[in-house]
Structure 1
Amino acid sequence: MYSFRRLEYQIILELSEYFPVIILCRVTGIPRSSFYNWKRSLFEPSKRARDFAGNVMLFMEYHKRYPSHGYRWLNAKIRLDTGIAHSDPYAYKCCRAAGIKSKTKHYRYKKPGNPYRLFPNLLIAGLPAYAPMQYIASDMTAFYFKGTYYELTLYMDLWNNEIVSHALSSRRGDRMTYINGLEGLIRNKDKETEWQTILHTDQGAVYASKKYNDILKLNHMAHSMSRAGTPTDNAAMEAINGWLKAELFTDFHVTGKASVEQEIEEYIKFFHEKRPAYALGYMTPKQYREAYREDSYSKKKRKPLKE
């Protein structure tokens, strides 16, 4: 109804060059005062309308920089960068007015496969992570850049979605990306905790190899595996792999001026420090870690001294 009435106002405005407004309003059944109020708001918009237009422009600017994301993430990113807070319905309204839609692929759910006999799925119970380095997920993703094939192995802490280790190679099927990434994970684990860490992977040949699992045993790490043909068992890593390639090539517009290794390093730094995550309440992994440390420090200060 509102859009139809607005259309009538526009028609009267266009025809007012040829016919008196009083006659046009009488024919359409619209009060002259309503038409003139609409005309005044059109050429002298209210503060609310001006603020809305400014916010629409802001969302368009951020969408241009990060086209792979939708209105919720853009809203969180604007709040993180500028401190301007909007509700999600208002952000949706702004993005709808600007015609903003995320430029990402949507993946279909796949039916779970059969369990793997070598290592059980230790995360299938859905137990939450309460501390760093409690549950680590790993996966390998591949991509082409300027005709060169690359394989990137990631190790991510499921507690705060932080990429704690990674390794890149331009050799197809390079087993050392898994081993090098695992060695980086072990170094970070030794700095963080002495407790056992659960490492969750798919059923890849390297993950199932004796050498790889011997390293895990020596470093007090338990191995957990997804069911065969069930990427949803490692959904966190599957999502990160998809976002990484979408953001790296859609948002960051990799040009090749810097090395691929440097581009990956810069993206991971952005991922840790400047990318809000829905799973963390739209905090960055760095913010989540800092909040955890502050809370732990406060609890230690409140702890009574033993007599």
Structure 2
Amino acid sequence: MELSGEFPIKLLCEIMQINRSSFYLWKSKLSNPSRRTKDFINNSALFAEYHIKYPSHGYRWLNAKICLDTGLILSDPYAHKCCKATGIKSTAKHYKYKKPGNPLRTFPNLLLSEMNISGPMQCIVSDMTAFTVHGIYYELTLYMDLWNNEIISHALSSKRGDKMTYINGLTDLIALKNKMNACETILHSDQGSVYSSKKFNDLLPAYGIVHSMSRAGTPTDNAAMEAINGWIKAELFEDLHVTGENNIEKEISDYISFFNEQRPAYSLKYLTPRQYKEYYFQTINVS
């Protein structure tokens, strides 16, 4: 366009080996973009806006989150096109596969039996993840329902190796289990010292909880929980910008609420854990 004011359009088109009509058509589209082009520009800007909020996620998750928040339904290929046009890429780290280790002699790995999980509280997975905020070390123990990926209990401590995060989280889990009148529950964990301790395991049989354990050095045996641990730290610091300037316990609780109620999950066909549970109970009531 800048050269067209200095050189004849015909000469420029000959050099670029295009028809003059193509130039004027392009110029017309530039001045008066089609509705489709305008929509693409607006949608790309929307993806860029959400990427700023949630940089750890890729185009599929962003597309699901936009649909959840705004009701705008776009295909995944179109979402990928929008993200590619704006240079959007997930900032999350990718983890390498590790070779399975030896099984534990005390508690078998029941997840390897290909169990059929058809409802809430049938199988709970647990793990601890650690992070640092303003130089203060924290340990966060999570208990997650494998049926709908809902974090049903958690406990936080700034004390390294604090066993009470596991016990407190388990106590809240037991209270919820009793409230729901759930039958037998499988609790799957790694071979950590607290999970293997007598104090922890003495609580389980009285409440209809059967312990299952991953093989030694095999985080893939608890893949869902390991994946959540990775996403949690990415989202806490890259998306939600947890700084520790406010009460860290409240910030973690707010994140758990976001995770359960506002965060679409790929394994749930991009429903939130809460939505998935609500649809389940609606179906049960109807039938």
- The CA deviation string for residues 203-241 of structure 1, in whole angstroms up to 9 with x for no partner, is 001101111111011111100000001000001110111
- The CA deviation string for residues 149-186 of structure 1, in whole angstroms up to 9 with x for no partner, is 11110000001101111111111111111111100000
For structure 1, the residue ranges without an aligned partner over 5 or more in a row are 1-12, 300-307
Q: TM-score scaled to structure 2, two decimals? A: 0.98
Residue 277 of structure 2 aligns with which residue? 289
- When residues 178 and 27 of structure 1 are mapped into structure 2, their CA distance, relative to the original with a 3 A threshold, is closer
Residue 277 of structure 1 aligns with which residue? 265
- C-alpha contact 1:141 1:153 (8 A) present in aligned 2: yes
Query: How do residues 198-217 of structure 1 correspond to structure 2 at under 5 angstroms?
Result: 198-217=186-205
**Residues 1:141 and 2:133 aligned together:** no
**Residues 1:254 and 2:242 aligned together:** yes
Question: Amino acid of the residue matched to residue 262 of structure 2?
Answer: K
Residue 225 of structure 2 aligns with which residue? 237
Residue 254 of structure 2 aligns with which residue? 266
Query: How do residues 1-307 of structure 1 correspond to structure 2 at under 5 angstroms?
Result: 13-299=1-287
Q: Distance in 2 between matches of 1:200 and 1:255?
A: 32
Q: Distance in 2 between matches of 1:262 and 1:113?
A: 37
Q: Offset of 1:127 from its aligned partner?
A: 2.3
Query: Does the residue aligned with 2:5 lie in a helix, a strand or coil?
Result: coil
Point out the structure with max Rg over C-alpha: 1
- C-alpha contact 2:121 2:182 (8 A) present in aligned 1: no
Q: Offset of 1:40 from its aligned partner?
A: 1.1
Q: Distance in 2 between matches of 1:27 and 1:169?
A: 70
Q: Distance in 2 between matches of 1:219 and 1:19?
A: 85
Q: Distance in 2 between matches of 1:145 and 1:27?
A: 60
Q: Distance in 2 between matches of 1:23 and 1:264?
A: 65
Larger RCO (CA under 8 A, 6+ residues apart): 2
Report the number of matched residues. Answer: 287
Q: TM-score scaled to structure 1, two decimals? A: 0.92
- When residues 177 and 27 of structure 1 are mapped into structure 2, their CA distance, relative to the original with a 3 A threshold, is closer
For structure 2, the residue ranges without an aligned partner over 5 or more in a row are none
Q: Offset of 1:24 from its aligned partner?
A: 2.1
Q: Distance in 2 between matches of 1:217 and 1:24?
A: 83
Please list every run of at least 4 consecutive aligned residues from structure 1 whose deviation after the TM superposition is greater than 3 angstroms.
Answer: none
- C-alpha contact 1:69 1:103 (8 A) present in aligned 2: yes
Q: CA RMSD in A?
A: 1.0
- C-alpha contact 1:137 1:201 (8 A) present in aligned 2: yes
Q: Percent identity between the aligned chains?
A: 64
